[in-house]
Structure 1
Amino acid sequence: MTDSPLARGLAVTVKVPATTANLGPGFDTLGLALSLYDELTVTVRDEPGSTVTVVGVGAGEVPTDDDNLVVRAIRHVFDAYGVPSPGLDLVARNAIPHGRGLGSSGAAIVSGIMAAKGLLESIVDIDSRALLALATDLEGHPDNVAPALFGGLTIAWTGVDGPQYKKLMVHRGVSPLICVPESTMSTALARSLRPASVPHEDAIFNVSRSALLIAALIQSPELLLAATEDRLHQSYRAAAMPGTDSLITELRSHGLAAVVSGAGPSILVLCSDPAQRLEAAAVVAAHPATRWESLMLAVDFKGATVNAHPAGALA
């Protein structure tokens, strides 16, 4: 038995979208939620500790006990509010690819944060600012967790009051295509390839493109190709992802706004309409160097959701 105030059998269900960060020039700042989801069920039990059942992506690979990232995120919230953690049974149904720049670790963290929010609903009120701060504690920076939490296009930054975000609605014509390779990429490795400083003109270049990208995404999709140019990070990582670099070059030569998705090696193509997305998919299918899975996704505008179920309701 645990000394948790939560009733045995209390359960929550959580749904969290994949994300793509950076979007070209918006390094560590811009993120977009996508219509590909991890789903989680968490049930309070009498026995201490946690057991995780993973279905889909990550099955047989990720920890299935208290070392699981989702469990650690849940415990982090309980500890933050001084509430004893209960024993937990988790069932994770995962669809977001791991190690491919689609925010899988951010989704795991957000899944745990939202599950804790649902479990603690009758005890503490956790607002959006607190959710972002708790998630950023574990992720390290807010650009992936912000869109996973809140959906849509997010601008994230850290100020004197901690991590902050602004959510924007995306132009209805914008049609994302995600190209997923068989290979993976370590986020830590990708970050290590960046230089400690960049030329002043490159910094100015990215500031202008980031501003233009916001306009392109919310108002003028025809500007997406120019708006997704970058000089801060993608070229430095290219040698570690030659297949990604080759396909991005090919796509952009066809006038398509292709960029590295997050830390890679997946590619995000921000198409101005569904017809252009079909054109992009055809270019990917004809590319000879690497096998890619093309995912035609929508922008998720809802973000993470959680629903609580009384004890025994899911039995």
Structure 2
Amino acid sequence: MGQTTLLPVGLAARVSVPATSANLGPGFDCMGLALDLRDDLAVEVLPDGLDFDITGEGADGVPRDGSHLVVQVLTQALEELDCAAPGLRLRAHNRIPHSRGLGSSAAAIVAGLALAWALARPGEELDLDWLCTRSSEWEGHPDNACAAVLGGIVLAWMGERTEVVQLSPAAGLRCMVWVPDFEVRTAGARQVLPDSVARSDAVAQATCSALLVHALTRAPEHLWTATTDRLHQSFRAALMQPSADLIDRLRGARVPAVISGAGPTVLAVGTDEQLAGVQAVDRSGFLELELPIGAGVRIESAAS
């Protein structure tokens, strides 16, 4: 670690980061995609203290002190980049719903890291490898994190380092999400998962996860089968019964529908023809959004 540089008062940066959906059915903890629903965040160096201006989704529920996730990540990342800020003002307009399975935590982590880079390395191209690695370490797994960094569809895993493969979506793919008015915490959703599954379920999961890569990139006609899951969704159903019931109705209409991340949002990905079956399904009680597959994190022009 080199000598610490104290950032000048008034230095500012702005980033935009997308929502993400992880798992995509059988791709548990390793598959994810970005959605064109974005949080916009800006930071400015102050003489001292912390100041917050937060609007949009979850604005009433997030802390206004050093425990704010973006500030935690930003502060630590600045230290890793041999910089420090005497004080910070964070402005955020959040569009990603919190605790709904759309990657709000990953977005906050990626935003904090990208803001730190923009302050510490002004004018330098964002190091995406560093960002994927650090965000995956913060998040604990790379599916949401790498999708938020790189955009599009990713296959990612963690070994000695974070590895990620970007997949080229098949032509004509689009996404729809249904967001309920209740939350499910990721930690709670993980606690209900079993330590082992039947061999037949493991084989079926491996088959579908392999097919999912092919379906997303070359053969979307297989998406309904490829999005079948036996590892996590059924075990979590009681935590989000309205979402589980909606998936049953959608899949009954041959719509490739899954739980987004740890839920409770429902995601469908497919072609116009595959998503046409949505219209015959009762989706009441959910906020429905049609979202393109999105781009990754962006450092915008300096904040004013």
> What's the TM-score once normalised by structure 1's chain length?
0.91
1:123 and 1:18, CA in 2 relative to 1: closer, same or farther beyond 3 A?
A: closer
Q: Which amino acid aligns with 2:291?
A: L
Note the C-alpha offset of 1:278.
Answer: 4.6
Q: Which residue of 1 aligns with 2:132?
A: 132
Which of 272, 275, 287 pairs up with 1:277? Answer: 275
- The runs of 5 or more residues in structure 2 that have no matched partner are none
Q: Which residue of 1 aligns with 2:32?
A: 31
Alpha-carbon distance between aligned partners in 2 of 1:243 and 1:178, rounded to the nearest angstrom: 14
Indicate if the aligned counterparts of 2:7 and 2:84 stay in contact, CA closer than 8 A.
Answer: no
Note the C-alpha offset of 1:11.
Answer: 1.0
Note the C-alpha offset of 1:207.
Answer: 1.1
Indicate if the aligned counterparts of 1:156 and 1:166 stay in contact, CA closer than 8 A.
Answer: yes
- 1:271-303 Cα offsets, whole Å, 9 max, x none, are 222x543541x245x24xx50111000001x30
- 1:95-131 Cα offsets, whole Å, 9 max, x none, are 0001100000111111111111111114987622211
Q: Which residue of 2 aligns with 1:296?
A: 290
Alpha-carbon distance between aligned partners in 2 of 1:20 and 1:176, rounded to the nearest angstrom: 10
1:187 and 1:276, CA in 2 relative to 1: closer, same or farther beyond 3 A?
A: same
Count how many residue pairs are aligned between Structure 1 and Structure 2: 301
Indicate the percent of aligned positions where both proteins have the same amino acid.
Answer: 42
Q: Which amino acid aligns with 2:83?
A: V
Helix, strand or coil at the partner of 2:187: helix
Question: 1:186-265 residue pairs with structure 2 within 5 A?
Answer: 186-265=185-264
Alpha-carbon distance between aligned partners in 1 of 2:197 and 2:227, rounded to the nearest angstrom: 18
Alpha-carbon distance between aligned partners in 1 of 2:20 and 2:238, rounded to the nearest angstrom: 24
- 1:74-115 Cα offsets, whole Å, 9 max, x none, are 012112233223411011000000110000011111111111
> What's the TM-score once normalised by structure 2's chain length?
0.94
**Aligned: 1:11 with 2:9:** no
Indicate if the aligned counterparts of 2:40 and 2:93 stay in contact, CA closer than 8 A.
Answer: yes
Alpha-carbon distance between aligned partners in 2 of 1:70 and 1:31, rounded to the nearest angstrom: 21
Alpha-carbon distance between aligned partners in 1 of 2:157 and 2:107, rounded to the nearest angstrom: 19
Alpha-carbon distance between aligned partners in 2 of 1:126 and 1:16, rounded to the nearest angstrom: 13
Q: Which residue of 2 aligns with 1:66?
A: 66
Note the C-alpha offset of 1:167.
Answer: 1.1
Alpha-carbon distance between aligned partners in 2 of 1:20 and 1:57, rounded to the nearest angstrom: 17
Helix, strand or coil at the partner of 1:27: strand
Q: Which residue of 2 aligns with 1:101?
A: 101
Note the C-alpha offset of 1:241.
Answer: 1.3
- 1:219-271 Cα offsets, whole Å, 9 max, x none, are 11111000001111111111221111111011001111111000001100112
1:122 and 1:242, CA in 2 relative to 1: closer, same or farther beyond 3 A?
A: closer
**Aligned: 1:110 with 2:104:** no
Alpha-carbon distance between aligned partners in 1 of 2:35 and 2:71, rounded to the nearest angstrom: 24
Alpha-carbon distance between aligned partners in 2 of 1:201 and 1:76, rounded to the nearest angstrom: 44
Alpha-carbon distance between aligned partners in 1 of 2:9 and 2:298, rounded to the nearest angstrom: 22
Note the C-alpha offset of 1:4.
Answer: 4.9
Q: Which residue of 2 aligns with 1:40?
A: 41
Q: Which amino acid aligns with 1:92?
A: A
Q: Which residue of 2 aligns with 1:306?
A: 299
Note the C-alpha offset of 1:5.
Answer: 2.6
- The runs of 5 or more residues in structure 1 that have no matched partner are none
1:239 and 1:40, CA in 2 relative to 1: closer, same or farther beyond 3 A?
A: same
Indicate if the aligned counterparts of 1:4 and 1:86 stay in contact, CA closer than 8 A.
Answer: no
Helix, strand or coil at the partner of 2:84: coil
Indicate if the aligned counterparts of 2:251 and 2:257 stay in contact, CA closer than 8 A.
Answer: yes
Helix, strand or coil at the partner of 2:142: coil
- 1:31-56 Cα offsets, whole Å, 9 max, x none, are 00000000001111111x32221111
Alpha-carbon distance between aligned partners in 1 of 2:93 and 2:182, rounded to the nearest angstrom: 22
1:123 and 1:306, CA in 2 relative to 1: closer, same or farther beyond 3 A?
A: closer
Indicate if the aligned counterparts of 1:148 and 1:303 stay in contact, CA closer than 8 A.
Answer: yes
Indicate if the aligned counterparts of 1:173 and 1:221 stay in contact, CA closer than 8 A.
Answer: no
